[in-house]
A and B are shown apart, each in its own frame.
Chain A
């Protein structure tokens, strides 16, 4: 069964450093998302991406964040200058959307645990 993959599974970085989190969405899906979950808290929406541009973004997704689909398969989240409060699990998700045969639920990747020291 196709699945969303994410690398790395765990990233440790120093405050102020740039990180890039990588995702490979399911191949025939059209919409891609990034969510984050701080330990013990709820899943929070960051950004959605469709047709090579941002569709929506939350207040969390400020100028320090950017997303890119550099090729036909990868979808990346970049944090330019990490802060301690960026420590969280980051989930990538994708959905076919508009497929009448499915619920168009979001399929989540396994997550990248980001630790900022």
Chain B
């Protein structure tokens, strides 16, 4: 099984940088995803890491350390529209590659 932990809530200021952490303990691992989810909507893909290191994609970056079971999502130049839940999800190394999701971190961006 999988156990995924991330902070419940975070608050940051528009224009700032915020880092959302995720730790996981897994029996199998085939990559880690970050998704954004606005209230009442579906999760949308942000980033994917399967090897250690940093992946950068515009204002969003994601880091993975497999030996530590640790990832973070870094959001730069925060905008009000970034207020949402951010979901860390671990893909298992099974045939169908199902994902196990953390509880999500609700980020509130204030002016």
Contact = CB atoms under 8 A, between A and B. Distances in A.
Interface of A: 31, 33, 35, 41-45, 48-50, 55-56, 89, 91, 95, 97, 103-111
B95 interface: yes
Contact of A42 (B48, B94, B98, B104): B104
Given A43-B43, A108-B44, A50 B96 contact: yes
A55 B42 contact: no
Interface in B27-61: 31, 33, 40-45, 48
Nearest to B42: A108
B103 interface: yes
The 6 closest A-B pairs by CB, nearest first: A48-B96, A55-B96, A108-B42, A103-B48, A43-B101, A105-B45
Contacts, number: 60
A106 B99 contact: yes
B96 A31 contact: yes
Contacts of A107: 45
Q: Is the interface of B mostly helix, strand, loop or mixed?
A: loop
B75 to A, nearest CB: 18
B101 A44 contact: yes
Contacts of B96: 31, 33, 48-50, 55-56, 97
Contacts of B42: 91, 108-111
Given A108-B42, A110-B42, A45 B103 contact: no
Contact of B87 (A43, A48, A50): A43
Contacts of B15: none
B108 interface: no
B96 to A, nearest CB: 4
B101 A42 contact: yes
A48 B92 CA distance: 12
B94 to A, nearest CB: 6
